[in-house]
Chains A and B, each alone.
Chain A
Amino acid sequence: EVQLVESGGGLVQPGRSMKLSCAASGFTFNNYDMAWVCQAPKKGLEWVATISYDGSSTYYRDSVKGRFTISRDNAKSTLYLQMDSLRSEDTATYYCARLRVMPTYYFDYWGQGVMVTVSS
């Protein structure tokens, strides 16, 4: 059974940093691209970042470029999101998701989500 379990969320002050983790199991982690998707309270879904199966390629939405870094440790089957210079508008539930690339790009498994609140 595919499982994605996020951790590392909580309350953080504006301008500070936070690192999210996502432990994957039930599939061969290093065969799949992975992603983070967020959802602000009572709002819709927003793609945040994507990393290729081997970590060689990363992609970000414009609003987080230069502030967030997606990475992975295939030996540990773990995905990360380093979030720096956090802003109030980054407040959201962050989901780890497995990204499929054929025949289109879509997220077939999602974690339960972890809440990040940016507030003083």
Chain B
Amino acid sequence: DIQMTQSPTSLAASVGESVTITCLASEDIYGSLVWYQQKPGKSPQLLIYGATILEDGIPSRFSGSGSDTQYSLKINSLQPEDFASYYCQNGLSTPYTFGAGTKLELK
């Protein structure tokens, strides 16, 4: 199985700041990386797929990058609604493994 390692586990930031979350795959996933946002008590929401493709309706302050085994999610100019948990997902093959998540908290 492909293991997905996210870092950091938690992150504190202020409104207006920029943050980056990273995801490391245990093997090359050829750009097949997906990012989700999840707010407490809610279901996950798709942000980015194919490592860099922004889902329709997602603000442009979210961006994804990376290749091979290393990927990143960057959020520019944090807004109050961005404080949530973020998960990466292996989109190459089953089992579709997820990272353990990054909790983004308000500083």
Contact = CB atoms under 8 A, between A and B. Distances in A.
Interface string A37-54: 100000011110010000
B43 A104 contact: no
Contacts, number: 69
Interface residues of B, number: 28
Interface string A81-118: 00000000000000100001001111111111100000
B44 A62 contact: no
A104 B95 contact: no
A61 interface: yes
B43 to A, nearest CB: 4
A112 B42 CA distance: 7
Interface size range of chain A in the complex: 20 to 34
Interface of A: 35, 37, 44-47, 50, 59, 61-62, 95, 100, 103-113
Interface of B: 31-34, 36, 38, 42-46, 49-50, 53, 55, 87, 89, 91-101
